[in-house]
Chains A and B, each alone.
Chain A
Amino acid sequence: MAGCDVPPLTSTKPSGQRDPMRQAQFIRSTTFHWALAVAGVLAAFIIVLFGFIYWKIDDYLTARSDRVITVELDSIAGLSPERRLEAIDEKLRQDPRRVQVVAIFAADGHRITGNLESLPPHLRIDAPAQGTDVIRTDRKGSELQTVRAIARRMRNGDVLVLGRNIDEAGEISHVVGQALALGLLPAFCLCLLAGAWLSMRAQKRVEEVNQRVQRIIAGNLRERLPHRNVDEPFSRLAAIVNGMLDEMETMIHALAGVGNDIAHDLRTPLTRARLALERGRTNATNLEQLQAVVDKAIAGIDQSLTIITALLRLAEIENSRRSAGFGSVHLHEMLREVCDIYEPIAENRNIDLRVHASEPLSVLGDRDLLFEAVANIVDNAIKFTPDGGKVRIELIRCDNETIVRVTDTGSGISEQEREVVLRRFYRSDKMRNTPGVGLGLNLVAAIVKLHGFRLAIHAGPGGRIDIICPDPQPSRVALAAKI
C-alpha cells in the first residue's frame, strides 16, 4: 500500500527540545508521589528507631549509675563514721567532672560534710536509687542539678546521701540526634532523588513510545515500539504491542491487496461503459444507435454495481455477529428446494442434477444464508460442469458431523487453486469468460464461518465441496446464543 511508504504527515516535536510542561510533569507523576510517600515512611521509621535507641541507652545508663551509687553507698556505709568522712573527701577530690554528689547529714538535718546544701526534700530515705533535684554546693558556688541519688540512715542516725549527675544522658541524646540528622537527611534525599529519576525515566519512555505511535498514526506502519531485550514490564509490554502491530500490518496489506483487486475489477466494466459512451456521442447518427450505446453503458455500470453490492453483502455477512436469528434448519428439505430451483437450468444443459438426502437432518443456523451458500455452490458446480455431466447434492451423517456435499464431473479445483479460490475476485483462468463476479465462494466461506462450520474443497478429478457442520456442544450453543 502506498500509505506505508509515505513519511508521517504530522511530525512530532524534535526530541531535543525540552518542553517546560514536561519538566514539571515528573513532580506530578505517580512514580514521584510514591517515592515521596516511601521517603516519608522511611523517615518516620528512622526517627522511631533512633528514639528507641536513645531510650534504651538512657535506660541502661541510669541502671548502671544506680548500681554504681548503690555499691558505693554500701561500701561507705560499711566504714566507721570517721573513715566515712575521709572516704567522702577523697571521693570529692577525685571528681574533676563534678558529677558526684555525696553528703552526710546529722539526724537533725544539719550537714556534717559533702557537697549538698541540705537534705533533698523529695528524696526518700532507705529506698532504692531515684531521680531527684539537688542543690550542689562547693568552692565554685552552688547550682541546681538533676541527679540519681540514694539515701540511707546510718546506725548512728546520720543520713548518707550519694548521687550521680545524669547529664551524660543528655550528651548522649545530643550525639544520637546528630547521628539521626546525618543519617536521616541523606536517606530522605536519596529516596526523593530515586523517585524523581524513576519518574523521569518512565516519562521519557512514555514520550518515546508516544512519538513512535504518532508516527504509526501518521501512516508509517513499519514503525515499532522501542524494545530492550530484558525481562522488564515495559519491554514486555512493548513486545506485546509490537506483535499486535505486526499482525495488523499484515492484515492491512492484505486489505490493500483486496482494494487493488476491487479497483481493477470495477475499472474494467466502467472503462467499457466510458468507451461506449464516448464513441456513441461522436458516431451515433440516429436514436436507435444512441439507445444501443446507452444500453451498453448501462450494462457496464450495472456490472460495477453488482460487484459493489456483492462486496457490501460479503462485508455485511463477515461483520455480522448476529446469531440471535438462528433456528433449526432442516437441511434435507432445504437441499431439495435448491435442487428444485436449479433443475431446469441443469436440464437445459443436459446435466443430471440429483439430491441424496434420505435422512431428515437439521442444524442450527440462519436458513436464508445457508440456502444462499448451498445455492452458490450448486450454481458454481453447474456452471463449471460440461454439458451432459453430473451434479450431486448429498447429505451425509458421520460421527458428530453433518456434511452437505456437492460433487460434479467438471474440471474440479486443482491443488494450487484451492487456497486462492477463496480470495476475493479469484476466477480460474479457464473461466475468464464465464459470467459471474468471482465472489461466490467468498460468500460461501463467510456464511460457513459465521455458523462455525467448515468448508472443505477436495482435489479432482471432478469438483467436490463439503460444508461440514459439527454437532453443537452444549457450551457452544450457549456461546452462540450469547453472541
Chain B
Amino acid sequence: MALVSGKRNIPGAAASSPANVFAAVGNRLMTKVLLIEDDSETAEEITAELADRGFEVEWSANGIEGLDKARSLKPDAMIVDRLLPGMDGLTVIEALRKEQVRTPVLVLSALGAVDDRVRGLRMGGDDYLTKPFALVELMARVEALLRRPAESRETTLRVGPLELDLIERTAKRGDRVIDLLPREFRLLEYMMQRSDQLLTRAMLLEEVWNYKFIPATNLVDVHMGRLRHKVDGPGEAPMIHNVRGSGFILRAGP
C-alpha cells in the first residue's frame, strides 16, 4: 500500500468530505473533532488535514486536559493517542464511557493491537489505528466513525441503480441480475452500507474478512476486481472506484 496523502490528486476524496457528513450529523455547521495527541508535529499535520477537509479541530496535548475538553466541547468524534502524559488514552475513553458519553473514538498507538483492551474497544464500535499510518487511512476511518450506519430494519439496500436484497440474498443492477458468491455478497453489502465513503484496504480486511493482519498478497484488490467485474457491466457507468493507493469507493453517480 502506498501511503499517498493528499486530496489534490484523488478524485474520490472530495466526495467523501463534509458535504456528506452534514447529512449524518445534522444541522451543525461544522463537524467538531477533538484531537488528543502529545506530539505537536503529528498533531499539526492531523489538524491541518482535518481543517482542509472542513472539520473544526480542537487539540489537546495531554490526557487530563483532553478529558475536560471532551466533556465541555461535546465533539462529534475524537482522535486519541494511546500514550499520553497525565492520563493514558484508553483511560480517558473509559472515563468518558462511564459518564455515558458515546462519542466515537479513534485510538492511535505505536503499540501493537493484539491485546484485550483493544479488542474491547473495537467491539464497542470504536477504532484503533497503529502508528505509523497514512493520513488517508486516518481520514477514512474518522469519516467511517462519524457515519456509522444506523441500525436499520431495511431489508433492501439501494445505491443508485444497485439493489441488494438481504433476505433473498440477491443483487440487481437495474434489471440485470448479478450473480454473487457469498463472499462477494458480504463485500458488496458492506460497501453499500457505506456508499460514498473511502474504504481503505485495511478497513475492508478487518471488517469484511475479519483479518487481524495485513497479508503479503494484495487480497483485497483481487476480490474487489472480481466484484467490480460483476457490478460494473460492459457499457455501464462504473460504480466501484479505485482511489489510487488508498482504497475503494462505491458511488451512484459518475
CA A372 to CA B215, docked complex, whole Å: 8
CA A375 to CA B9, docked complex, whole Å: 35
**Extra pairs beyond A301-B3, A309-B130, A376-B216 (9, CB < 8 Å):** A295-B245, A305-B132, A306-B214, A316-B114, A345-B217, A345-B222, A348-B222, A379-B217, A440-B216
Residue A341 contacts which of B209, B212, B213 (CB distance < 8 angstroms)?
B209
Query: Which residues of B from 105 to 153 have beta carbons under 8 Å from A?
Result: 112, 114, 116, 130, 132
Residue A325 contacts which of B3, B9, B116, B212 (CB distance < 8 angstroms)?
B116
Interface presence of A245 (CB below 8 A): no
B: which residues have CB within 8 A of A? 1-4, 9, 112, 114, 116, 130, 132, 183, 209, 212-217, 219, 222-223, 225-226, 245
7 closest residue pairs by CB, A with B: A368-B212, A316-B112, A344-B222, A436-B216, A345-B222, A372-B213, A299-B2
A435 touching B4, Cβ below 8 Å: no
In the bound complex, residues from chain A placing their C-beta under 8 Å from that of B223 are 341, 344
A341 touching B112, Cβ below 8 Å: no
Q: What 1/0 flags go to A339-354 for Cβ under 8 Å of B?
A: 0111011001000000
Nearest CB of chain A from residue B189's CB, rounded to whole Å: 16
In the bound complex, residues from chain B placing their C-beta under 8 Å from that of A345 are 217, 219, 222
How many residues of chain A are within 8 Å of chain B by beta carbon? Answer: 32
Query: Which residues of A from 360 to 375 have beta carbons under 8 Å from B?
Result: 368, 372, 375
In the bound complex, residues from chain A placing their C-beta under 8 Å from that of B112 are 312-313, 316
In the bound complex, residues from chain B placing their C-beta under 8 Å from that of A313 are 112, 114, 213
Interface presence of A302 (CB below 8 A): yes
B217 touching A382, Cβ below 8 Å: yes
Nearest CB of chain B from residue A431's CB, rounded to whole Å: 12
A: which residues have CB within 8 A of B? 291, 295, 298-299, 301-302, 305-306, 309, 312-313, 316-317, 320, 325, 340-342, 344-345, 348, 368, 372, 375-376, 379, 382-383, 435-437, 440
B114 touching A435, Cβ below 8 Å: no
B219 touching A341, Cβ below 8 Å: yes
28 CB-based A-B contacts, threshold 8 Å: A291-B9, A295-B2, A295-B4, A298-B2, A298-B3, A302-B2, A305-B132, A306-B214, A309-B214, A313-B213, A316-B114, A317-B114, A325-B116, A341-B183, A341-B219, A342-B219, A344-B223, A344-B225, A345-B219, A345-B222, A372-B213, A376-B215, A379-B215, A379-B217, A382-B217, A383-B216, A435-B216, A440-B216
B216 touching A379, Cβ below 8 Å: yes
CA A31 to CA B132, docked complex, whole Å: 59
Residue ID in chain A nearest B205 by CB atoms: A341
In the bound complex, residues from chain A placing their C-beta under 8 Å from that of B130 are 309
B1 touching A302, Cβ below 8 Å: yes
Residue ID in chain B nearest A345 by CB atoms: B222
In the bound complex, residues from chain A placing their C-beta under 8 Å from that of B183 are 340-341
Nearest CB of chain B from residue A171's CB, rounded to whole Å: 90
CA A341 to CA B182, docked complex, whole Å: 11
Residue ID in chain A nearest B119 by CB atoms: A325
B216 touching A372, Cβ below 8 Å: no
Given A313-B112, A325-B116 in contact, is the A437-B2 Cβ separation under 8 Å?
A: no
Residue B216 contacts which of A341, A348, A437 (CB distance < 8 angstroms)?
A437
Nearest CB of chain A from residue B97's CB, rounded to whole Å: 22
